[in-house]
Amino acid sequence: KFPKKYFSGIQPTGAIHLGNYLGAIVQWVKLQDAGNNLTLSIVDLHSLTIPQKSLELPQKILEMTATLLACGIDPQKTVLFQQSTVPQHTELYWYLGCISTMARLGHLPQFKEKSANLKDIPLGLFTYPVLQAADILAHKATHVPVGEDQLQHLQLSQDLVRMFNSRYGNIFPIPKSLVTETARIRSLREPEKKMSKSDTDSKSCIYLTDTEDSITKKIKKAVTDFTSEVTYDPLNRLGVSNLITIHSALTGKSPEAICKEAKGLNTAKYKDVVAADVNHALAPIRRKLNEYLEDPQYLLDVLNSGKHKAIDITEKTLTEVRYSLGI
């Protein structure tokens, strides 16, 4: 009875790395291009759970918008908006907060992790997953593409739907998770870790904004092992397998085909091939990204039009919600 609808959010945290691109954005573009109903939110409210430089945030929001467009998100097909411009999200967050419990939120592993080293824990960090639920529910999303680390948060959203629906009527669909098929992309310098923007060593990450030269250098310096052959063994050869994973994701060739082609090359020579292919894949994205960034007014227009679409959709939901709550 609920039409199929995909929803995902991404924080406006500036530079996007290959992990974010292959793990999240590529999947969204595929869903969009397959004709699905997709909504994407640049979740600036979520980013405030840790201190942000207010002077930099407007630019970061534009950069994220430009990045998504450069990667293939089409604002004619996908509803793309900035979370804070749609107050229905925070309103629903309050209603959901009133049926969430401290015990349930306190048990979420990501909260435990993020609060472990803080002396004073912001309330927003604690209630963040409730806002995430509100994002999803306000749009009545049925499917949520997520990384594995977000599965527990999606379970909370599902529980909140069950609770809300049983008390107030069948208003929300239970959102299903859609875990991305792409393998985790690993850090180039410390392949035992995932590629992450919280990594302080920028040589560990390939950013979509990196120059060709910088990408080539980073790949040449990627940590591999003492075996010179190119084999795909993600359990025992983290470094070289990570390069093959990246290479495979960007070219569409299977790891087996890549290893076959690399027969006779040592890992150093193979890195040259990877660097060339990564650059070939990323150059057009970087070019479009820079073009979009030269036209901030266009980006603002895109966000403004997305805002109006998102307000129309979520206000319908909130009208039902307020009525069922008796307010």
Find the shortest distance in angstroms from Cβ 30 to ligand ADP: 14
Q: How far apart are the first and last CA of the chain?
A: 26
**Can 194 be counted among the known catalytic residues?**
yes
The residue within the footprint of ligand ADP, chosen from 23, 129, 175, 191 (CB under 6 A), is 23
Distance CA 1, CA 235 (A): 44
Kindly tell me the burial class for residue 112, based on how many C-beta atoms sit within 10 Å of its own C-beta (0-12, 13-18, 19 or more): exposed
**Can 193 be counted among the known catalytic residues?**
no
Find the shortest distance in angstroms from Cβ 7 to ligand ADP: 13
The residue within the footprint of ligand ADP, chosen from 60, 194, 218, 237 (CB under 6 A), is 194
The residue within the footprint of ligand ADP, chosen from 198, 200, 236, 297 (CB under 6 A), is 198
Distance CA 190, CA 178 (A): 28
Among the listed ranges 95-103, 192-200, 227-235, 305-313, the one in contact with ligand ADP (CB under 6 A) is 192-200
The residue within the footprint of ligand ADP, chosen from 6, 7, 9, 11 (CB under 6 A), is 11
By CB under 6 A, residue 243 contacts ligand ADP: no
Q: Which is nearer to ligand ADP, 148 or 225 (CB)?
A: 148
Report strand pairing: 38-42 vs 143-146: unpaired
Question: Could you tell me if 131 and 46 are in contact, meaning their C-beta atoms sit under 8 angstroms apart?
Answer: yes
By CB under 6 A, residue 129 contacts ligand ADP: no
Kindly tell me the burial class for residue 202, based on how many C-beta atoms sit within 10 Å of its own C-beta (0-12, 13-18, 19 or more): middle
Among the listed ranges 154-162, 188-196, 264-272, 278-286, the one in contact with ligand ADP (CB under 6 A) is 188-196
Distance CA 122, CA 254 (A): 45
Among the listed ranges 19-27, 41-49, 224-232, 273-281, the one in contact with ligand ADP (CB under 6 A) is 19-27
- Going from the C-alpha of 24 to that of each of 18, 182, 265, the distances in angstroms are 10, 9, 32
| Binding track, positions 139-158, relative to ligand ADP; x by CB under 6 A | --------x-----------
By CB under 6 A, residue 204 contacts ligand ADP: no
Question: Could you tell me if 46 and 128 are in contact, meaning their C-beta atoms sit under 8 angstroms apart?
Answer: yes
Q: Which is nearer to ligand ADP, 11 or 224 (CB)?
A: 11
What DSSP character marks residue 8? E
Question: Could you tell me if 274 and 247 are in contact, meaning their C-beta atoms sit under 8 angstroms apart?
Answer: yes
Distance CA 78, CA 98 (A): 31
**Can 1 be counted among the known catalytic residues?**
no
| Binding track, positions 47-66, relative to ligand ADP; x by CB under 6 A | --------------------
Question: Could you tell me if 223 and 188 are in contact, meaning their C-beta atoms sit under 8 angstroms apart?
Answer: yes
Q: Which is nearer to ligand ADP, 24 or 161 (CB)?
A: 24
Which residues touch 307 (CB under 8 Å, ≥6 apart)?
A: 81, 82, 85, 86
Q: Which is nearer to ligand ADP, 197 or 288 (CB)?
A: 197
Among the listed ranges 29-37, 190-198, 208-216, 218-226, the one in contact with ligand ADP (CB under 6 A) is 190-198
Find the shortest distance in angstroms from Cβ 266 to ligand ADP: 26
Q: How many residues does the chain have?
A: 327
Q: Which two tokens stand for residue 289?
A: 């990204």
Q: Which is nearer to ligand ADP, 88 or 204 (CB)?
A: 204
47 alpha-carbon distance from chain centroid: 13
Q: What are 40's strand-pairing partners?
A: 8, 80
Active site residues: 114, 194, 197
Instruction: Provide the binding-site residues for ligand ADP, judged by CB under 6 A.
Output: 10-11, 19-20, 23-24, 147, 184-185, 194-198
